[in-house]
């Protein structure tokens, strides 16, 4: 299902919780996406896209 978020993906590590996550700088809207990485996320690579749920 296509969403209204599309753009550059940044993976980060920091000292506060949540320690790991990723951010998408949204070029389709005003709100960027911040997502903590946890064991419940599922990733699938469909070149040139990285899909998750």
Residue 8 lies in a domain: yes
Res 8: pLDDT: 92
Residue 29 lies in a domain: yes
Residue 49 lies in a domain: no
Residue 44 lies in a domain: no
- Domain span including residue 22: 1-38
Residue 15 lies in a domain: yes
Res 31: pLDDT: 94
Residue 45 lies in a domain: no
27's CB contacts (< 8 A; 6+ apart) are: 6, 7, 8
Query: How many domains, the chain?
Result: 1
pLDDT tens digit string along 1-53? 778 999 999 999 999 999 999 999 999 999 999 999 998 999 899 998 888 88
């Amino acid at each position: 299902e296509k969403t209204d978020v599309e753009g550059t993906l940044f993976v980060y590590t920091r000292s506060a919780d949540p320690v790991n996550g990723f951010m998408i700088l949204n070029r389709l809207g005003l709100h960027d996406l911040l997502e903590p990485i946890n064991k419940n996320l599922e990733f699938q690579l469909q070149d040139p896209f990285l899909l998750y749920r």
